[in-house]
Amino acid sequence: MMLDMVSEKSKRAKAAVPAEQHQGSPATTPADQGGVLALGGVEAFYGSFRAVNNVSLEVQPRAVTALIGPSGCGKSTLLRTINRMHETIPGATVKGSITLDGIDLYDADVDAVRVRRVIGMVFQKPNPFPTMSIYENVAAGLRLLGRTPKSEMDGVVESSLRRAALWDEVKEKLKQPGTSLSGGQQQRLCIARAIAVQPRVLLMDEPCSALDPVATLKIEELIRELAADYTIVIVTHNMQQASRVSDSTAFFSMDENRAGYLVEAGPTPMIFTSPKESLTESYVAGRFG
């Protein structure tokens, strides 16, 4: 790792030029049919407790879908079933089907580890790896996939950081620990880290809840830009945020057994102005939640 960092520095001057070409090239643009995510009758459990009940939802490719609803309604749990993070919790299980471009993510032949490579995740609290430098944080995912030539790695790190609108702020200090950045920068670093492995889908679990308003605004702008290339699903508590960043919105609530269910989903303007359900209407009007 140390060696990598040293040689990385010596190549910086050279790498800066070819990295420009990386932008928009296959290195950062997802291919395929665009990442159509379809949830069919998804149920999520913690032991015997049902946290999510029977959610069916089609997520638009290359667009932002917001999951909103009162706390405890299972939105984060549902999000974590999509990249199979849910099952890493002891006793947690999932029923139903989730497909990406028609491929069943819970198929016996599909390894959860590979699912998480094509479906990246950004967490509530920025969590850069404290023992890794900024460069290593972004390179971490690619390193797992095998040997990537140094020059190529430099290019991916730079283009990912540029894509996350962080490059200009960190290009002089790539060797410093990721934790030395401010909260908002850390979160953008986590986004850069997630897109460096070229996922098709990005899941964001309340990515701004730990940030101040200015940093939040920056992340929101970034989400809008990323939507051109990635299918984005974002959980948020903040309805203004949902209305600002998302194309579609899905509203969740809790049934009498405290299991979360989907109330309704649709284009964001419709959900916020003329929802079909009265429950949705009172929630977006701020009457509960």
Partner 1 sequence: MSGAALDFSRQRSASADPLFRRILAAGAAAGGILLLVITGYLIAYSSPLWAIQSPISFLTTPAWITGIEQADGSVLEVYGAASVIFGTAATSLIAVIFAAPIGILGAVYLVEFAPRRLAAPLAFLVELIAAIPSVVFGLWAVGDLSNRLRDSIEWWIASSFGQIFPWLSEDPTAPASDSVFRAGFLLAIMILPMIVAVSREFLRSVPISLREGYIGMGATRWEAIRDVVIPTARVGLIGAVLLALGRALGETIAVTMVIGNAEGIPSSLFLPGQTIASKIANNIGETSGAIPLASMVALALSLFLLSFFISLAVRLTLRRFSQVRIVS
Partner 2 sequence: MSAPGVSLHEALLQPGAHDLRRARTDWIMQRIFQVAAFLAVLPLFALVFYVTLRALPWLSPALLTNNPLDQQPGILNAVVGSLQMTALAILVTGPIGIAGGVYLSEFAPRRVAAIGELVIDIMLGIPSIVAGIFAFLVLVPILGFSGWAGSAALGVLTLPIVMRTTQEVMRLVPPSIREASLALGVPVWRTTLLVTVRTALPGVLTGLVLATSRSLGETAPLLMTARGTNAENFLDFGTTMNAMPIVIYQYANAADERSIGQAWATALVLMVIALLLNVLVRWRTVNSRVA
- For tokens 């879908």, name the residue: 65
Contacts of residue 236, Cβ cutoff 8 Å, sequence gap at least 6 = 66, 67, 68, 206, 208, 242
Answer for the pair 235, 67: CB distance below 8 angstroms, yes or no: yes
Asked if 176 is part of the footprint of partner 1 (rule: CB under 8 A), the reply reads no
Cα–Cα dist 196/142, whole Å: 7
Helix (H) or strand (E) holding 135: helix 134-144
CA distances from 251 to 71, 77, 213, 232, 284 (A): 12, 14, 24, 16, 9
- Measured from the CB atom, the residue of 11 and 237 that comes closer to partner 1 is 237
Please report, as ranges, the residues that interact with partner 2 according to CB under 8 A: 26-27, 31-33, 35, 100-101, 103, 105, 107, 109-111, 113-115, 117-118, 144-146, 156, 198, 200
In the complex, least distance from residue 124 CB atom to partner 1, rounded to whole angstroms? 8
Choose the one of partner 1, partner 2, none that binds residue 107, judging by a C-beta under 5 to 8 angstroms depending on kind.
Answer: partner 2
Beta partners for residue 98, in sequence order: 39
Give the SS3 label for residue 228. Answer: coil
Q: Of 27-35, 57-65, 114-122, 224-232, which part binds partner 1 (CB under 8 A)?
A: 114-122
Q: Where in 121-150 is the site for partner 1 (CB under 8 A)?
A: 121, 123, 125, 127-132, 140-141, 144-145
Q: Which residue has the tokens 């303007």?
A: 269
Structure tokens at 44: 């999520």
* Min separation Cβ 143 and partner 1, Å: 8
- Closest contact distance (angstroms) between CB of 276 and partner 1 is 34
The span of 32-40, 80-88, 99-107, 251-259 binding partner 1 (CB under 8 A) equals: 80-88
Distance (Å, whole) CA 83 – CA 89: 13
Residue 100 vs residues 26, 72, 261: alpha-carbon distances, Å = 20, 26, 21
By beta-carbon proximity to partner 1, the closer residue of 74 and 128 is 128
**Interaction of residue 276 with partner 1, rule CB under 8 A:** no
Of the residues 120, 155, 184, 275, which one makes contact with partner 1 according to CB under 8 A: 120
- Cβ atoms within 10 Å of 59's Cβ, excluding its own: 23
For partner 1, the closer CB: 121 or 265:
121
Bridge partners, residue 99, by sequence: 38, 104
Chosen from partner 2, partner 1, none, partner binding at 212 (C-beta under 5 to 8 Å by type):
none
Q: How far is the CB of 33 from partner 2 (least distance, A)?
A: 8
Q: Does 14 bind partner 1 (CB under 8 A)?
A: no
Site size for partner 1 (CB under 8 A): 27
Contacting residues toward partner 1, per CB under 8 A: 83, 85, 88, 90-91, 113-114, 116-117, 120-121, 123, 125, 127-132, 140-141, 144-145, 190, 193-194, 197
